[in-house]
Amino acid sequence: MSRRVFDPTVSPAAPAAFSYTPRPKSLRGLRVGLVENTKFNSEVILRKIAERLATRYQITMTHLDHKKSSGHSVTPEAIALFQQQADFVLAGVGD
Amino acid sequence: MSMIKSDPPHPDPAVAAEWIEFYYQQGWSDGLPLVPPTEDSVQAMLAAAELTGDEVLGTIDERNAIIPAEKVAINAVMAGCLPEYFPVVLAAVQGLCHPEFHYHNPATSTGGSGLAIIVNGPIGPALGINATNNVFGPGVRANATIGRALRLVMMNVLNTRPGLLDRATLGTPAKYTFCFAENEVDHPWVPLHVERGFRPEESTVTLYASNTLMGVYNQLASTPEPLLREFADAVCNLATPNVYGFNETLIVLAGEHAEVLRRSGWSKRQVQEFIVQHARRTVADFKRAARLPGDIQPEDETTWRYVLRRPEDLLIICAGSQGGSWSACLPGWGNKWTRSITLPIRTGGIP
């Protein structure tokens, strides 16, 4: 006699369709945004990376976003700002 | 061989064992045997909360996850819950989805918190949820299975599995199950849910992300001050993650300690304020333990940092047996964006 198996799991919903931004041919002169996640040293590490990018590739850091906490998503407002002001974004943990 | 004559509900235990083993093989267990659900047991669970299976109880945006009622019912059956426990499970699950609880933080963190389900109101005694002797220990079905059901929902519905979206360094035994009721009978003050604006006759669940459980022992204190100084010392333990003054701490008063405070006539607010004022350390203390960066400056020896900011950041409840000089301090998981949540327990569907 067969009996129904009750699956207790839920598969995550499929994310909305998205496409990757084409990769730039060169990093030289681009604009970078930073997402700091409130972890200790997160901002320190990101700023240091931005400094090196500026030295090596003349990349300008245009905006630093402070997340509400490491577990929160980046806000839509911050994403909109990055779309206007940055060619790429760096995010780091830094524990 | 010892044998007990009985009238088992199934004529062949081997069949039940095969089902249990099958559920193990699917990867749906917390490591302990699961109760295989049936159509009847799942429907009975849903009926106890007047829900249909396709209703959505909530969402966790950071997990891109929804929580259907049927899945919660299945996990509650597997945990060993009786149908009458289901409204308590339901309130706890809704607590997970509350924006102020912010599930993704305490559920994922290396800090590895146990999520305490604190039950208040008449439903606690009605369901036999233990609030007294050995309150954090084993032996009571309601405590064991309600807490287990929540963790199974976290693992199976929200993918909070060790090594995947549960990144705890050590974890805690409280992740298997952590549910208890407040002892509202032997109580110097009003219980937690009344302090938070509910009526005494209402039943509630408070969901609290706890990092650990520290016993607080004092057999000599007969007045509030020395006893509360010891609690304050436990609260500002340098090893806890929340020592920078932005979190909650839970104190569970038991036995003789609750009696000392009852006899003193101190209000709960007085007790909270005393502990908040005394749960502090100097900046030099933090620096010596490398909990703050930098060299110790002369002024650091007299500059204080307080662990808690407000009296209401200190949750004080009563539970445990009347005898004994023990209480407990449970530091919060340690992030300013996660708060304990108190929600009503309802049996009439989703509010």
What confidence tens digit (pLDDT) does each residue in B55-80 have?
A: 999 999 888 899 999 999 999 999 99
Task: Point out the least confidently predicted range of B11-20, B119-128, B298-307, B336-345.
Answer: B11-20
Which residues does chain A have within 8 Å of residue B108's beta carbon, measured at their own beta carbons? 71
- The one-letter amino acid code at B62 reads E
Average pLDDT of B297-321? 95
The 3-state DSSP class for residue B76 equals helix
d(CA B345, CA B93): 11
Q: In the predicted model, is pLDDT for residue B4 greater than 60?
A: no
Complex-level ipTM = 0.88
More reliable by pLDDT, A40 or B203: B203
pLDDT score for B2? 58
Token reading at B302:
């007299």
Q: Which of A9, A38, A93 to mutate to test the interface with B (most CBs of B within 10 A)?
A: A9
User: Does any CB of chain A come closer than 8 Å to the CB of residue B111?
Assistant: no
At B8 the pLDDT is 53
**Are A69 and B65 within 8 A, CB to CB?**
no
Q: At what angle do helices B141-156 and B69-79 cross, to 10 degrees?
A: 130
Contacts of A2 in chain B (CB under 8 A): none
- Is B67 in the A-facing interface, judged by CB distances under 8 Å? yes
Tell me whether B60 touches chain A (CB under 8 Å).
no
Q: Quote the pLDDT of residue B350.
A: 56
Does residue A55 sit at the B interface (CB-CB below 8 Å)?
no
3-state class (DSSP) for residue B119: strand
* Share of residues in chain A with pLDDT > 70 (%): 93
CA-to-CA distance for B344 and B204, rounded, in angstroms? Answer: 4
B71 touches A at CB < 8 Å: yes
**CB–CB of A82/A64 below 8 Å?**
no
Q: Which of A6, A37, A39, A43 to mutate to test the interface with B (most CBs of B within 10 A)?
A: A6
Q: Are the C-beta atoms of residues A34 and A63 closer than 8 Å to each other?
A: yes
B286 vs A contacts (CB less than 8 Å):
none
Residues B145 and B85: their CA atoms lie apart, in Å, by 9
Q: Supply the mean pLDDT for chain A.
A: 89
Is B157–A5 a contact, with Cβ atoms under 8 angstroms apart? no
The tokens 């233990």 sit on which residue? Answer: B130
Residue A77 CA to residue A83 CA, distance in Å, equals 10
User: Cα dist. B126→B142, B148, B266, B343, B346 in Å?
Assistant: 11, 19, 30, 18, 14
B195 touches A46 (CB < 8 A): no
d(CA A72, CA B274): 34
Give pTM, 2 decimals: 0.92
Best of B42, B55, B103, B337 to disrupt the A interface by mutation (most A CBs within 10 Å)?
A: B337
Measured distance CA(B186)–CA(B111) in Å, rounded: 33
The answer, for B78 touching chain A at a CB cutoff of 8 Å, is: yes
Count the neighbouring beta carbons within 10 Å of the beta carbon of residue B142: 24
Give the model confidence (pLDDT) of A37-65 as tens digits. Answer: 888 889 999 999 999 999 999 999 999 99
**CB spacing of B335 vs A71 below 8 angstroms:** yes
Residue B220 burial (C-beta neighbours within 10 Å; 0-12, 13-18, 19+): exposed
Mean pLDDT of the B165-173 span? 94
CB < 8 Å from B in window 2-21 of A = 3-10, 12-13, 15
Query: Are residues B65 and A9, on separate chains, in Cβ contact within 8 Å?
Result: no
Among B117, B39, B113, B56, which residue's Cα sits nearest to residue B85?
B117
d(CA B252, CA B259): 13
Q: In what order do the strands lie in the sheet with B179-181?
A: B179-181, B114-120, B204-210, B341-344
- Report yes or no: B174 and B116 within 8 Å, Cβ to Cβ: yes
What are the chain B neighbours of A7 within 8 Å (beta carbons)?
A: 26, 28, 74
Of A6, A12, A69, the CB nearest to B335: A69
Decide if pLDDT at B100 tops 80. yes
Helices assigned H by DSSP within chain B: 13-25, 39-48, 69-79, 86-96, 104-108, 123-127, 141-156, 192-195, 224-235, 255-264, 268-278, 283-288
| pLDDT, chain B, mean | 93
More confident residue, B241 or B198: B198
List all residues 6 or more positions away from B274 whose beta carbon is below 8 Å from its beta carbon: B224, B225, B228, B232, B266
Mark yes or no for CB contact B337/A71 under 8 Å: yes
Report the pLDDT value the prediction gives residue B279, as an integer from 0 to 100. 95
- Report the distance separating Cα B180 and Cα B129, nearest Å: 6
Q: Tell whether the torsion through CA atoms of B71, B72, B78 and B82 is positive or negative.
A: negative
List A residues 58-77 in contact with B (Cβ-Cβ < 8 A).
Answer: 68-73
Going by their DSSP bridges, the two strands B56-60 and B179-181 should be labelled as: unpaired
Q: Residue A78: its pLDDT value, please?
A: 96
Which residue in A10, A15, A71 is closest to B62 by CB distance?
A: A71
Chains A and B: how many Cβ contacts under 8 Å?
A: 64
pLDDT tens-place string over residues B130-142: 999 999 999 999 9
